[in-house]
Amino acid sequence: MKPIVIIGAGQAGLALAAKLRALGCETPIKLIGAEPAPPYQRPPLSKKYMFGELDRERLYLRPETFYAENAIELITGTCVAAIEAAEKIVVLDDGTRIAASQIALCTGADPIRLPAAIGGDLAGVYTMRNLADADAMADEFRPGARVLIVGGGYIGLEAAAVAAAKGLQVTLVEMAPRILARVACAETATWFKALHQSHGVDIREGIGLSELTGKGGRVARARLSDGSDIEADFVVVGIGVRPGVALAEAAGLAIENGIRTDAFGAASAPGIWAAGDCASFPFQGCRIRLESVPNAIDQAEAVAAAMLGQGAPYVAKPWFWSDQFDVKLQIAGLNTGHDRVIVRQGDKLGTVSHWYFAGTRLLAVDAMNDPRAYMTAKRWIEAGQSPEPASLADPAIPLKSVPLAAPQTELAEAP
Amino acid sequence: MITVTFEGADGSRITTKARPGTTLMEAARAASVPGILAECGGACSCSTCHVYVAPDFFDLLEPAGEMELDLLDFAWEPDPASSRLSCQIVLNEALEGLVARVPERQG
């Protein structure tokens, strides 16, 4: 029997394999990962793992025995060189050819690196994506060391928080006029900027990196876009990721901000599927791609069912989280297209939530140390309900008493 | 190693062993216990690893923090006398034989 081949052994690849078995699939499964480690969790890499609070083994999503017990052939440290889409053949980098019954692409995303021309290939310059990245930079996190963080998105801010908490001197530069510019409202950005500044992080907005220079091949200084120079013992680059589409593109599959799939996760050639950070899929009349663990799991499980002919259209329920200092940020929904933000103070000191609306429709919430706001918003968003904004903004009105706006009908046809 | 047992909503039982210092959620995940989703991987950021802990053991647990209590309020059919997020239960010798029931659904 030809195997199902899953390319990419991250959170999505593992979830897909496990779900196939849970659904009773008896086809051989090959799960192929480029990294040497078995499937592991990435989120703690920039959080607990960096603090040394979580052993390497506890990052692993399943014990080694799981794979044999479930007849999942886990092939680690192996890159796929090509896919021959029409024949469904997977070619490994050692030339091995595997004829597959079906193929799932769970190839994730790759961090954008600084060009070598501006010093991106100097020693001491890191990205934060893989276990190998985290292990490579672990020794750099020494009290007193000077770190430059390039990029004020969530990865950069999490790295800054760990570094500051460990007693490093932290400078963070963000080229855009403010941090979190692509992902959050100005209110949330201002809130996190103040948090970081209160812990001594030097945040410089509207300032890009011009060039890194080194001594003996190792980074030592950074020239910033305002002409200033700073010294740095090491640099963490968090300027976003690109979906892992190279294999799919070379195989002639349709690409549209990721591997283009339909609502079931099918790519543009029969018997080939995609899930997780690498896949773009229909969502509320648009096409989106999500970079998150919950999406990787849910979408991969939906694809597993679809591969067995039991599929249903995947309905994403986006949510995200981040830990920085003593703050837990929880995000429900997607804020794209919002036209206003309602600020609601939480019940406890230092808790607040920012609610994104398009007109009267609730799109998303950023909840800072306010799980009740997050959970309430998540339910409302998933049910297509919206709280009445003026009541929401009044902290004297308990969240559970905030009235819901009349259900919105999509633009009604003219009578 | 510490032995723990998970009871499914359908009455099925899975018994497994876990290292002290690891969490009950990790034990469930390692044993592929159905119904423990643990979407946030143990960061106390969702509520998809909710379990009901048998009374003998519930009282032995470190009390839940504010974040966990708030999240539990929104879990599927929470029970103040037995509900916990399994990612917040760190296993130790005193918890040998712990039994946790998995709710019918998570959220």
Residue A200 placed within a domain: yes
Give the rounded distance of the alpha carbon of A410 from its chain centre: 31
- Domain's final residue, options A196, A223, A239: A239
- Domain's final residue, options A184, A215, A239: A239
d(CA B32, CA B36): 8
Residue of B22, B24, B36, B40 for testing the chain A interface, max A β-carbons within 10 Å: B40
d(CA A314, CA A300): 10
Nearest CB partner across the interface for B74, out of A348, A369, A375: A375
- The interface residues of chain B toward chain A in range 65-104, judged by CB-CB distance below 8 A, are 66-67, 70-71, 73-74
Helix residue spans in A228-370 (DSSP H): 246-250, 293-307
Which domain does A194 fall in, by range? 116-239
Q: Same domain, yes or no, for A280 and A235? A: no
| Cβ within 8 Å, pair A379-B74 | yes
| Cβ within 8 Å, pair A22-B34 | yes
Q: Same domain, yes or no, for A136 and A246? A: no
Residue A408 placed within a domain: no
Q: Same domain, yes or no, for A135 and A215? A: yes
Asked if A185 reaches chain B (Cβ–Cβ under 8 Å), the answer is: no
Give tens-digit pLDDT for A13-41. 999 999 999 999 999 999 999 999 999 99
Nearest CB partner across the interface for B70, out of A58, A61, A371: A371
**A272-297 burial code (b ≥16 CB/10 A, e <16):** bbbbbbbbbbbbeeeebbbbbbbbbb
Would you give the end-to-end CA distance of chain B in angstroms? Answer: 31
Helix%, strand%, coil% for chain B, nearest 5: 25, 25, 55
Residue A295 placed within a domain: yes
Domain CATH code at residue A390: 3.30.390.30
pLDDT at position A405, please? 87
Nearest CB partner across the interface for A323, out of B34, B43, B46: B43
Residue A151 placed within a domain: yes
Nearest CB partner across the interface for A43, out of B29, B32, B41: B41
Residue of A11, A19, A41, A353 for testing the chain B interface, max B β-carbons within 10 Å: A41
- The phi, psi pair for A346, rounded to 5°, reads -80, 180
Q: Same domain, yes or no, for A48 and A155? A: no
For residue B91, give Cα distances in angstroms to A95, B23, B61, B97: 46, 6, 9, 11
- The phi, psi pair for A233, rounded to 5°, reads -80, -30
Nearest CB partner across the interface for A62, out of B30, B41, B44: B30
Residue A414 placed within a domain: no
Q: Same domain, yes or no, for A213 and A139? A: yes
Q: Same domain, yes or no, for A372 and A277? A: no
Contact list, B34 vs chain A (CB under 8 Å): 22
Q: Same domain, yes or no, for A230 and A135? A: yes
Contacts of A151 (CB under 8 A, 6+ apart): A172, A173, A174, A237, A238, A239, A240
Residue A415 placed within a domain: no
- Domain's final residue, options A224, A239, A254: A239
Domain CATH code at residue A75: 3.50.50.60
Helix%, strand%, coil% for chain A, nearest 5: 25, 30, 45
Q: Same domain, yes or no, for A120 and A204? A: yes
Class of residue A94 by CB neighbours under 10 A (exposed 0-12, middle 13-18, buried 19+): exposed
Using the 8-state DSSP alphabet, how is residue B18 labeled? Answer: E
Q: Same domain, yes or no, for A99 and A153? A: no
Identify the structural domains of chain B with CATH numbers, from first to last.
Answer: 2-101 (3.10.20.30)
Q: At what angle do helices A154-165 and A186-198 cross, to 10 degrees?
A: 20
| DSSP state string for A105-127 | E---EEEPPPPGGGTTTSBTEEE
Contact list, B46 vs chain A (CB under 8 Å): 294, 319, 321
Q: To the nearest 10°, the Cα dihedral for A93, A95, A97, A98?
A: -30
Residue A212 placed within a domain: yes
Enter the ipTM: 0.92
d(CA A369, CA A383): 23
Contacts of B59 (CB under 8 A, 6+ apart): none
- Taking residues B74-98, report their average pLDDT: 96
- Which candidate, A254, A266, A328, A331, places its Cα nearest to that of A292? A331
Q: What is the pLDDT along chain A (415 residues), one digit of tens a residue?
A: 999 999 999 999 999 999 999 999 999 999 999 999 999 999 999 888 988 889 999 999 999 999 999 999 999 999 999 999 999 999 999 999 999 999 999 999 999 999 999 999 999 999 999 999 999 999 999 999 999 999 999 999 999 999 999 999 999 999 999 999 999 999 999 999 999 999 999 999 999 999 999 999 999 999 999 999 999 999 999 999 999 999 999 999 999 999 999 999 999 999 999 999 999 999 999 999 999 999 999 999 999 999 999 999 999 999 999 999 999 999 999 999 999 999 999 988 889 999 999 999 999 999 999 999 999 999 999 999 999 999 999 999 999 999 998 765 444 433 4
Residue A312 placed within a domain: no
Query: Mind telling me how many Å the CA of B60 is from chain A's nearest CA?
Result: 23
Q: Same domain, yes or no, for A160 and A64? A: no
Q: Same domain, yes or no, for A294 and A360? A: no
pLDDT at position A347, please? 86
Q: Same domain, yes or no, for A220 and A129? A: yes
- The interface residues of chain A toward chain B in range 292-351, judged by CB-CB distance below 8 A, are 293-294, 297, 319, 321, 323, 328, 330, 348
Asked if A63 reaches chain B (Cβ–Cβ under 8 Å), the answer is: yes
Residue of A293, A326, A366 for testing the chain B interface, max B β-carbons within 10 Å: A293
Number of domains in chain A: 3
- Taking residues B34-47, report their average pLDDT: 91
- The interface residues of chain B toward chain A in range 34-63, judged by CB-CB distance below 8 A, are 34, 37, 39-41, 43-47
- Neighbouring CB atoms inside 10 A of A243's CB total 22
Find the helix or strand (DSSP H, E) in which A4 lies: strand A4-7
- Parallel/antiparallel/unpaired status of strands A202-205 and A169-174: parallel
Residue B106, token pair as written in the block: 């998570």
Contact list, A48 vs chain B (CB under 8 Å): 43
What share of chain B in percent tops pLDDT 90?
A: 93
Contact list, A43 vs chain B (CB under 8 Å): 40-41, 43
- Neighbouring CB atoms inside 10 A of A367's CB total 27
